[in-house]
Amino acid sequence: MSKAVFVTGTSNGLGKALFELLAAENHSLFCIARRFLPEQIELASQSNHDIRLFQADLRDSAQLPTASDMNAFLQDKEISEVVLIHNAAVIEPIGAVGTLDPQQITEAIQVNLTAPILLSNTLFSLQAAETLPVKVLFISSGAAKNLKDGWALYCSTKAGGEMFFNVLAEQVKDQKRISVHNVNPGVMDTEMQKTIRSATDVHFPTLERFVRLKEEGQLAQPHDVARSIIRDYLPA
């Protein structure tokens, strides 16, 4: 019996890897992203795959899937578990407080914190969440606990997200069929890392560290991280 997996940010990096590995295991996928890759669209069109590609910009709360959207996806499915993976995130704005772009500040809070809160709230309002096993994964970062000068928005939104999901975990602690996890995937070779390494004209004292990680081949590959997450949190 397959899982029904809702996952954000599937067009690159860890989200893309999760999409490919979970689809290969024939799980039902509800993917939320601004855009989708041609191969994802092709796979979703095949009758032997149960994949919903829900195009939405997480910066706009009005575009997020509703309870009706989620219910329609779950309807008439024989599934073993409902899973929500909050993967999408943005690293920008990078720089000194006082120089940050106000629009980027708003968008970072929306994508990294507000959207996961809203989507989780919607999921837990569903009737399926009252009866089926439920698992929520918030893809966090070491930046949630370790201060990074120049990353005021990324650090604070990831820390805020971890606290929200810690509170949610406390709320459901007596319900054995529900589990909530903050997951630190480590430093990966993704588009976000490219953005970090390109931040050469703003206040970011540890830039050289991230440049060295790439040069020395110390960045984990997204598929390897995705396999570990599936093994540890979503076993068959």
Whole-number Å distance between alpha carbons of 28 and 52: 8
DSSP 114-176: IHHHHHHHHHTTSGGGGTS-EEEEEE--GGGTS--TT-HHHHHHHHHHHHHHHHHHHHTTT-T
For residue 156, which of 166, 169, 168, 147 has the smallest C-alpha distance? 147
Question: pLDDT, tens digit, for every residue of 91-134?
Answer: 999 999 999 999 999 999 999 999 999 999 999 999 999 999 99
- In the numeric block, which tokens belong to residue 209? 């560290």
Whole-number Å distance between alpha carbons of 110 and 146: 21
- In the numeric block, which tokens belong to residue 24? 């290969």
Answer whether residue 47 shows pLDDT above 80.
no
- In the numeric block, which tokens belong to residue 177? 């069929």
Confidence of residue 49 (pLDDT cuts 50, 70, 90): confident
Confidence of residue 8 (pLDDT cuts 50, 70, 90): very high
- In the numeric block, which tokens belong to residue 29? 């996928």
3 state DSSP class of 84: strand
Answering whether pTM is above 0.85, one says yes
Q: Give the dihedral sign, CA 181/219/223/39.
A: positive
Catalytic entry in 6, 30, 151, 154: 154
Q: What's the whole-number mean pLDDT along residues 23-36?
A: 96
Phi and psi angles of residue 182, each rounded to the nearest 5 degrees, phi first: -95, 125
Phi and psi angles of residue 188, each rounded to the nearest 5 degrees, phi first: -115, 160
Whole-number Å distance between alpha carbons of 236 and 27: 10
Question: pLDDT, tens digit, for every residue of 12-22?
Answer: 999 999 999 99
154 counts as catalytic: yes
Beta bridge partners of 139: 183
Could you give all domains of the chain from N- to C-terminal order, each with its CATH number? 2-186+222-233 (3.40.50.720)
Question: pLDDT, tens digit, for every residue of 146-195?
Answer: 999 999 999 999 999 999 999 999 999 999 999 999 999 999 999 999 99
pLDDT of residue 180: 98
pLDDT of residue 187: 95
Whole-number Å distance between alpha carbons of 27 and 9: 17
- In the numeric block, which tokens belong to residue 154? 């990324």
Q: What's the whole-number mean pLDDT along residues 59-85?
A: 96
pLDDT over 90 percentage in the chain: 95
